[in-house]
């Protein structure tokens, strides 16, 4: 996708605590861990509101694919924001304060968009910080799903996250169409968990004459499969399909080149690998060709792609004229609807300040090593015929991100999960038997991977 990745090969002696420690010592990104607050084992065991735990008692947090942990910058940024609000009130909309890490409120969404654009491989004007994932999907589908008499189907993942499924279903129904006939679910071959690129392309061929849009996840939340976004996008567009991507599990996890790949639109949340907090503000990408505003017919007659419009999508130069003549911000900003929550933007900008110190290329390089080490340790000294689990995430690093989905034999999920929780290891489970393990390069270590596998295999042995 951004250049083929090679999987690290670990020697037999790598299965030791000392070897894991040596990998940590050689890690050029190891200092980023100090910029996060790792939940302590003691706090995880209590039901009382508590202060952050001591660094000497950290949990092993492998749940960044569900909710990233808190960057220390959040407190600093939030304090600056609260001080701005309390000291100058409404003037915070238009005043840049010295020594504040945040721009004036009217420019804060652009501050976030500029940082996010580097994460998703886009121009700042192609990205907007706004809304939440499902709301943004609805707004984008309202603009990009234009069914006709002959082209009306939407191709999607067979095991789409409920948000995507519900959103697509509702837009098909909005046009008085039958969802059962017009939702085309693409699934793996029998007995497989991975959906091959060839399978997706064959579905595009099969439904090219009747499909209007393709919407897939960049990374499938259950299996952890990373799709070949570039190839699929190019092929679908050659068949006259509009192409959108849900990047909830890809944002902040893998390298993306949305502009270069010519993606039509995309949406993502920022609370997983993005670490912006539970329910944090999301983001959208709209390719520059869809965000153009044409004033050739006159200053009061702009021509632009239809979308659901709102006040905040209007150009700042005329936003406060209040003349009800909508002149959209060129680019993705013109798809904004409401005045965004400054508090949410503050948390998002704080999280993005960490990403601003590195690159997705460097993070991805460490992530590939971490995940390969996890896979190596899980499979070491196990026999495929007798082991009590299977890794259903692709082994190819080009087809996965940080997450490995480990499918346990029936009846083991809750026992294993309880053992991990009691050991202070946080990862999530998905019925009927999957443990999703996501070592995040910003704050997880090779030693944590080693300790996890030790506890995991101990849990299996005692079950």
Asked if residue 270 belongs to a known ligand binding site, the reply is no
State the average pLDDT over residues 43-49: 88
Whether residue 2 contacts residue 229, with contact meaning beta carbons closer than 8 Å, is answered with no
Does residue 4 have a pLDDT over 90?
no
pLDDT at residue 316 in the model: 86
Residue 315 tokens read as 């150009």
pLDDT band of residue 52 (cuts 50, 70, 90) is confident
* Residues with Cβ within 8 Å of residue 34, at least 6 apart in sequence: none
**Backbone torsions φ then ψ of 10, nearest 5 degrees:** -105, 140
State the average pLDDT over residues 407-412: 95
Diameter over CA atoms, the chain? 75
Does residue 463 have a pLDDT over 90?
no
Cα angle 202, 207, 210; round to 5: 165
pLDDT digits (tens, 9 = 90+) for 137-193: 999 999 999 999 999 999 999 988 888 999 999 999 999 999 999 999 999 998 899
Whether residue 440 contacts residue 13, with contact meaning beta carbons closer than 8 Å, is answered with no
Alpha helices in 40-187 (DSSP H): 41-44, 73-88, 105-120, 133-144, 162-174, 179-182
pLDDT at residue 53 in the model: 64
Q: What mean pLDDT, rounded, does the chain reach?
A: 95
pLDDT at residue 301 in the model: 94
Asked if residue 134 belongs to a known ligand binding site, the reply is yes
Among 79-83, 188-192, 215-219, 288-292, the range scoring the smallest mean pLDDT is: 188-192
Strand, helix or coil for residue 112: helix
pLDDT at residue 321 in the model: 84
Domain 107-353 CATH class label: alpha beta
Asked if residue 162 belongs to a known ligand binding site, the reply is yes
Asked if residue 443 belongs to a known ligand binding site, the reply is no
Straight-line distance from the first to the last Cα atom of the chain, in angstroms, rounded to the nearest whole number: 41
Asked if residue 185 belongs to a known ligand binding site, the reply is no
Asked if residue 339 belongs to a known ligand binding site, the reply is yes
Q: Distance between CA atoms of 228 and 232, rounded to whole angstroms?
A: 6
Asked if residue 82 belongs to a known ligand binding site, the reply is no
CATH number of the domain at 17-65+365-462, please?
A: 3.90.1150.10
pLDDT at residue 219 in the model: 97
Asked if residue 311 belongs to a known ligand binding site, the reply is yes
pLDDT band of residue 385 (cuts 50, 70, 90) is confident
Does residue 2 have a pLDDT over 80?
no
Does residue 9 have a pLDDT over 80?
yes
Domain ranges of the chain: 17-65+365-462, 107-353
Asked if residue 163 belongs to a known ligand binding site, the reply is yes
pLDDT digits (tens, 9 = 90+) for 341-366: 999 999 999 999 999 999 999 999 99
pLDDT digits (tens, 9 = 90+) for 183-234: 999 999 988 999 999 999 999 999 999 999 999 999 999 999 999 999 999 9
């Amino acid at each position: 996708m951004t250049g083929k990745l090679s999987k690290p090969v670990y020697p037999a002696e790598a299965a030791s605590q000392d070897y894991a420690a040596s990998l940590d010592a050689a890690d050029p990104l190891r200092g980023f861990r100090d910029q996060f607050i790792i939940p302590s084992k003691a706090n995880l065991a209590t039901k009382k509101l508590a202060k952050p735990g001591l660094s000497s008692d950290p949990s092993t947090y492998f749940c960044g694919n569900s909710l990233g942990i808190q960057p220390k910058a959040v407190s600093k940024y939030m304090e600056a924001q609260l001080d701005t609000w309390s000291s100058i009130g409404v003037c915070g909309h238009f005043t840049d304060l010295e020594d504040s890490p945040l721009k004036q409120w009217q420019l804060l969404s652009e501050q976030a968009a500029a940082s996010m654009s580097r994460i998703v491989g886009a121009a700042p004007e192609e990205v907007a910080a706004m809304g939440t994932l499902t709301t943004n999907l609805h707004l984008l589908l309202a603009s990009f799903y234009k069914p006709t008499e002959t082209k009306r189907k939407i191709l999607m993942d067979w095991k789409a996250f409920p948000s995507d499924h519900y959103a697509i279903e509702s837009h098909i129904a909005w046009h008085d169409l039958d969802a059962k006939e017009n939702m085309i679910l693409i699934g793996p071959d029998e007995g497989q968990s991975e959906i091959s690129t060839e399978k997706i392309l064959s579905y595009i061929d099969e439904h090219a004459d009747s499909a209007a849009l393709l919407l897939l996840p960049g990374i499938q939340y259950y299996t952890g499969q990373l799709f070949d976004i570039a190839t699929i996008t190019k092929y679908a567009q050659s068949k006259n399909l509009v192409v959108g991507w849900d990047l909830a599990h890809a944002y902040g996890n893998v390298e993306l080149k949305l502009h270069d790949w010519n993606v039509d639109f995309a949406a993502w949340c920022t609370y997983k690998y993005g670490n912006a907090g539970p329910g944090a503000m999301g983001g959208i990408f709209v390719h520059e060709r869809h965000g153009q505003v044409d004033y050739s017919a006159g200053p009061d007659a702009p021509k632009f792609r239809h979308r659901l419009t709102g006040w905040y999508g209007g150009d700042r130069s005329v936003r406060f004229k209040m003349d009800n003549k909508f002149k959209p911000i060129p680019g993705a900003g013109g798809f904004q609807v409401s005045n965004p929550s400054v508090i949410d933007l503050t948390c998002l900008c704080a999280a993005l300040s960490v990403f601003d110190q590195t690159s997705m290329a460097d993070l991805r390089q460490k992530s590939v090593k971490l995940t390969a080490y996890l896979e190596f340790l899980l499979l070491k000294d196990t026999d495929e015929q007798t082991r009590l689990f299977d890794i259903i995430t692709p082994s190819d690093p080009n087809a996965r991100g940080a997450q490995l989905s480990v499918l346990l034999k029936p009846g083991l999920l809750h026992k294993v999960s309880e053992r991990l929780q009691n050991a202070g290891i946080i990862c999530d489970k998905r019925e009927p038997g999957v443990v999703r393990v996501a070592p995040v390069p910003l704050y997880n270590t090779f030693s944590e991977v080693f300790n996890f596998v030790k506890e995991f295999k101990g849990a299996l042995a005692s079950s």
